[in-house]
């Protein structure tokens, strides 16, 4: 007789319930878990992004967009705006005189505010699990940048500078208008627009004489991207790792050209009417009616150079055919894969897969359908779509409920917990218009009734969390396996949060 020794490991991916040492014995008792761990795009060590540039050059715009993007893809990121620290310290702003280089008291206060912000950066990156901090300030002198670099080296952080240089008077004037708006800058809450703009221009002059731009020779040892005239030209130097590469790629795709992005789901489908999820059915009669109304709506908008994107599924393609614009199919826009639950009603899922149903309610964002996807997986799949949307101008995206939620969460800066519950009803168009530091949303219902596919967040009381135990499936597989001649066999299975465990059974002679 012989006995079977079971070893379980997973290459390249670290799982909290699997020993990192593949040579060690692994206890099956460790394999109880609730949900897949978050897919965090972790950097090797925390990164400090430092903006550089005169006022009204779009630094805060860049900081906010970059923070939103990194959080959306799973990199914990926070913005630290030194101007906010200064406003908390100096409650009443008087004039540009505060920023004069010969104003010793003002200079001292600004240095204290920068130090306070850096202390908070240290706490966030070292103690709170942050991976990227965006230090949003002018940082226009080499002395200030050397201080920040020394701070980062002392704490083991990488530094990446983002400089925005702009000499276009039209762009600068537009940025000044945004900068002095009371909604964005409390400094000018009690001033009229002309007074505020005049004071802000003098504030810029206070920085101009001491401004030292990042230099290709002098600063050749630094990692940075220099954005010239809002993307007309870029200079990239000493990129250190994948996270900085992604930052560079993102910043080279964004633009400030006025545009609108239209998001809508396909028309009501036959499976929607039946209350089933997933599948690849065609449109219902009401869905076809919506498609016609959508075509008329888009025509009435008189949108120049409109691009239309769909998924590769029948219901989005049939919806797009009613719009008199050529459309492009994206596989990345396909609906979330529900795996074994495809074309099932929620009631059927609850009946046949009660454990899966309960687990999904615990953490809808990270839950992965058996043989399917999670919302977290979907976000990773949609990153190229976001990049291309940032490059484009006017686009109509005809997609699906889960996909639309992910796209909407990016533009509206929603958290992973909020994302799966965003309301995206059928037969409704959302018009997104990027504005200074956010996105304006208009909801247009096209007066065609449809079923309601939204499922509210479940009420969660005080209860014991459900666990999925993967020991039983492993044992079942082992009982039914027939070993090969060399005494070994490999079994590959996929469960929640596991991209694929390899189970190796080795036949060992009994002594």
- Does 388 participate in catalysis according to the annotation? no
With the C-alpha atoms ordered 391, 395, 400, 401, is the resulting torsion angle positive or negative? Answer: positive
- Report the b/e string of 184-214 with b at 16+ CB within 10 A: ebebbeebeeeebbebbbebbebbeeeeeeb
Q: Which of 266, 376, 383, 427 is catalytic?
A: 266
Q: What is the DSSP string of 58-115?
A: SHHHHHHHHHHHHHHTT--EEEEEHHHHHHHHSSS---GGGG-TT-HHHHHHHHHHHH
Kindly tell me the burial class for residue 344, based on how many C-beta atoms sit within 10 Å of its own C-beta (0-12, 13-18, 19 or more).
buried
CB 499 within 8 A of CB 16: no
CB 364 within 8 A of CB 394: no
- Strands of 290-356, DSSP E: 307-310, 327-329
In order of 232, 233, 317, 392, 490, the CA distances from 252 in angstroms are 10, 9, 31, 12, 45
Is 36 assigned a ligand-binding role in the annotation?
no
- Report the b/e string of 25-39 with b at 16+ CB within 10 A: ebeeeebebbbbeee
Kindly tell me the burial class for residue 154, based on how many C-beta atoms sit within 10 Å of its own C-beta (0-12, 13-18, 19 or more).
exposed
CA distance linking residue 387 with residue 438, whole number of Å: 17
Query: Which residues, other chains included, contact 79 with Cβ-Cβ below 8 Å and sequence gap of 6+?
Result: 63, 64, 67, 133, 134, 136
Is 271 assigned a ligand-binding role in the annotation?
yes
Is 269 assigned a ligand-binding role in the annotation?
yes
Is 272 assigned a ligand-binding role in the annotation?
yes
Is 315 assigned a ligand-binding role in the annotation?
yes
Is 255 assigned a ligand-binding role in the annotation?
no
Longest dimension (CA), the chain: 93
CB 365 within 8 A of CB 375: yes
With the C-alpha atoms ordered 239, 254, 77, 402, is the resulting torsion angle positive or negative? Answer: negative
- Does 266 participate in catalysis according to the annotation? yes
Q: Which of 289, 335, 356, 383 is catalytic?
A: 335
Query: Which residue numbers belong to the known binding site?
Result: 265-272, 315
Which active-site residues does the annotation give?
Answer: 266, 335
Query: Which residue numbers belong to the known binding site for substrate?
Result: 265-272, 315
């Amino acid at each position: 007789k012989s006995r079977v020794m079971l070893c379980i490991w997973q290459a390249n991916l670290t799982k909290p319930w699997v020993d990192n040492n593949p040579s060690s014995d692994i206890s099956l008792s460790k394999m109880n878990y609730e949900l897949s761990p978050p897919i965090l795009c972790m950097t090797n060590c925390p990164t400090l992004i430092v903006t550089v540039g005169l006022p009204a050059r779009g630094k805060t715009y860049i900081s906010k967009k970059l923070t939103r993007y990194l959080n959306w893809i799973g990199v914990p990121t926070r913005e630290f705006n030194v101007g906010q620290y200064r406003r908390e310290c100096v409650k009443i702003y008087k004039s540009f005189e505060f920023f004069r280089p010969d104003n010793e008291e003002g200079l001292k206060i600004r240095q204290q505010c920068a130090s306070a912000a850096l202390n908070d950066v240290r706490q966030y990156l070292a103690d709170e699990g942050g991976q990227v901090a965006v230090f949003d300030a002018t940082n226009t002198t080499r002395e200030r940048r050397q201080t920040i670099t020394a701070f980062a080296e002392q704490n083991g952080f990488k530094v990446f500078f983002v400089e925005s240089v702009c000499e276009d008077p039209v762009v600068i004037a537009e940025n000044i208008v945004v900068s002095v708006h009371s909604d964005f800058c409390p400094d000018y809450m009690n001033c009229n627009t002309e007074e505020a703009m005049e004071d802000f221009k003098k504030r810029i002059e206070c920085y101009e004489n001491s401004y030292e731009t990042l230099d290709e020779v002098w600063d050749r040892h630094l990692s940075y991207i220099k954005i010239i005239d809002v993307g007309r030209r870029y200079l990239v130097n000493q990129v250190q790792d994948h996270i900085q590469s992604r930052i560079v790629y993102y910043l080279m795709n964004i633009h400030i050209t006025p545009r609108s992005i239209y998001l809508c789901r396909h028309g009501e489908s036959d499976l929607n009417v039946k209350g089933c999820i997933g599948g690849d059915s065609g449109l219902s009669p009401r869905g076809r009616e919506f498609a016609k109304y959508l075509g008329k709506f888009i025509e009435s908008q008189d949108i120049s150079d409109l691009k239309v994107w769909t998924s590769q599924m029948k219901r989005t393609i049939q919806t797009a055919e009613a719009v008199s614009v050529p459309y492009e199919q994206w596989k990345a826009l396909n609906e979330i894969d529900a795996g074994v639950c495809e074309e099932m009603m929620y009631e059927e899922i609850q009946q046949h897969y009660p454990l899966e149903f309960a687990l999904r309610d615990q953490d809808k964002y990270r839950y992965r359908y058996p043989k399917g996807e999670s919302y977290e997986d979907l976000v990773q799949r949609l990153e190229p779509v976001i990049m291309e949307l940032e490059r484009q101008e006017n686009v109509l995206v005809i997609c699906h409920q889960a996909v639309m939620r992910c796209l909407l969460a990016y533009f509206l800066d929603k958290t992973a917990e909020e994302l799966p519950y965003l309301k995206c009803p059928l037969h409704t168009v959302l018009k997104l218009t990027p504005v200074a530091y956010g996105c304006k949303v208009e909801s247009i219902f096209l007066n065609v009734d449809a079923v309601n596919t939204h499922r509210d967040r479940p009420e969660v009381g005080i209860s014991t969390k459900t666990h999925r135990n993967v020991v039983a499936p492993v044992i079942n597989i082992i009982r039914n396996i027939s070993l090969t001649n060399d005494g070994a066999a490999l079994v590959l299975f996929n469960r929640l949060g596991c991209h694929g465990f390899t189970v190796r059974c080795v036949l060992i002679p009994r002594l």
